[in-house]
Amino acid sequence: MTRLAEPADRICDVLVAGAGLAGLAAAIAFARAGFDVVACGADERLARGRTVAMLARSIAYLDSLGLWPAIEPQAAPMRALRMIDDTGGLFPPRPVEFASSEIGLETFGWNVENDLMADSLAARAAAAPGVERTGRPVESYDFSGERALARLADGRTVAAALVIGADGRASPARRAAGLSVRTHRYPQSALTALLAHRLPHRDVSTEFHTRQGPFTLVPLPPAGEAADRSSLVWLMSDDEARRRETLDDAALAREIERQARSLLGAMRIEGRRGIFPMARQVVPTLTAPRLALIGDAAHAFPPIGAQGLNLGLRDVEAIVEAAVEARAAGGDIGGSAALAAYERARRADIFTRTAAVDGLNRALLAEFAPLDLARGAGLAALAAVGPLRRFVMREGVAPRFARPLPGPARRPDNA
């Protein structure tokens, strides 16, 4: 008989704390693999122009869980990626364009509004066999027993062999376990918005590299009377963010069109825009007794290169695989061996992605001629050297540090 620090109202295999995209995906993936799951936390609806650009590997994983068919009709493909230097350097490189067909893919990935994807995952989690969904967050944890004990806001207690901390950058689960985090605040904010525009995007995502950070337009599908739409992520200085926050939609749309060099014609802002401070968070250790961190609780950095949720979904893959392997060996899914396997599987991938995003962002912010020259030479090499360009594209879509994509997870026959 398992001993608990105190009696629990509910005993389960896995408690997922956090109902963002990574948390909902984790709850569904664990249940599909045959685990008894309690998923808690209020639904997250970010709106304010936020979208999710998922690369091909993430799409394949969502498809393996049966989730992609409901999301695809609301998403737009990204068949090409265009990079344009707009830093005002002395030796500006020519624009570089990457085509997914060059590496045998129909598309690099798909872009979908954050809240539409959240609605789809929340509906699937609510209906998934093996998932008990509650909107109540966890108020406190006790990791001292043979199972973790979580007390919910409604007073109920849940005991779990494994807790998944998918509860965001501030992560109460991470704090309760005493795990440290290192935070670096950049002198930037990101402006996000959904845009309707006069000219078609032709399934091309365009990234302008400016001296204050990237300005990125990503395709969206038609909606209502707007046939041509994109999402915007514009990194800029905090001062410029404060100034642009005061502009009305028409004035801001004109500034967006100017920065985009009228590539997509006249712009119109749809709905509310958002302004978010930019920071990098590094979590030296992803696990503690009975706890594994995923998503923003495990890593956070500026929205450059479509890495955020893609990295989080690879976290989900790895922790579910570690739990499945522990179960198959007759081990403890929340024990030290399973958690160490998860830590090993994720460390290199997280480190390289965080370093790459940080390095690119700092290189844009630094007005240092040798750095500009090196960055320009790199872009020129990508444009001119086919094997190098294809290697970079493949690495972006399916990083070598990620584990091979598993087949569709299924419940064990005896579940």
Distance of CA 214 to the CA centre of its chain: 17
Q: What does DSSP say about strands 267-282 and 182-197: parallel, antiparallel, or unpaired?
A: antiparallel
Integer Cα distance of 63 and 122 in angstroms: 16
pLDDT at 387: 63
- Token pair, residue 9, equals 């109202």
pLDDT at 397: 61
DSSP single-letter state for residue 99: E
The CA dihedral of 99, 105, 108, 109, to the nearest 10 degrees, is 150
Instruction: Answer yes or no: are the C-beta atoms of 165 and 277 closer than 8 Å.
Output: no
pLDDT at 398: 61
Written as one string, the DSSP assignment of 289-341 is TTEEE-GGGTEE--S-SS-HHHHHHHHHHHHHHHHHHHHHTT--TTSHHHHHH
The alpha carbons of the chain give a radius of gyration, in whole angstroms, of 22
Beta-bridge partner residues of 277: 189
Evaluate if pTM is beyond 0.85.
yes
203 φ, ψ (degrees, to nearest 5): 60, 25
pLDDT at 252: 98
Instruction: Answer yes or no: are the C-beta atoms of 173 and 334 closer than 8 Å.
Output: no
3-class secondary-structure state, position 208: strand
* 10-183+280-397: CATH, from 3.50.50.60, 3.30.9.10, 3.60.21.10, 3.40.630.10: 3.50.50.60
CB atoms within 10 A of CB 127: 10
**Residue 238 Cα distances to 234, 241, 279, 359, angstroms:** 12, 5, 12, 20
- Token pair, residue 303, equals 């929205």
CB atoms within 10 A of CB 249: 15
- Of 250, 246, 236, 136, the C-alpha closest to 192 is 236
**What strands, in cross-sheet order, belong to the sheet with 96-99?**
96-99, 80-86, 204-210, 213-220, 229-237, 182-197, 267-282, 299-300
Integer Cα distance of 237 and 49 in angstroms: 19
Instruction: Answer yes or no: are the C-beta atoms of 299 and 182 closer than 8 Å.
Output: no
pLDDT tens-place values along the chain, 415 residues long: 334 445 799 999 999 999 999 999 999 999 999 999 999 999 887 778 899 999 988 999 999 999 999 999 999 999 999 989 887 766 667 788 888 988 888 999 999 999 999 999 999 999 999 999 999 999 999 999 999 999 999 999 999 999 999 999 999 999 999 999 999 999 999 999 999 999 999 999 999 988 888 999 999 999 989 999 999 999 999 999 999 999 999 999 999 999 999 999 999 999 999 999 999 999 999 999 999 999 999 998 877 766 789 999 999 999 999 999 999 999 999 999 999 999 999 999 999 888 877 777 766 665 544 555 555 556 555 555 556 556 565 666 666 555 554 443 333 333 3
Residue listed under structure tokens 């994983």: 61
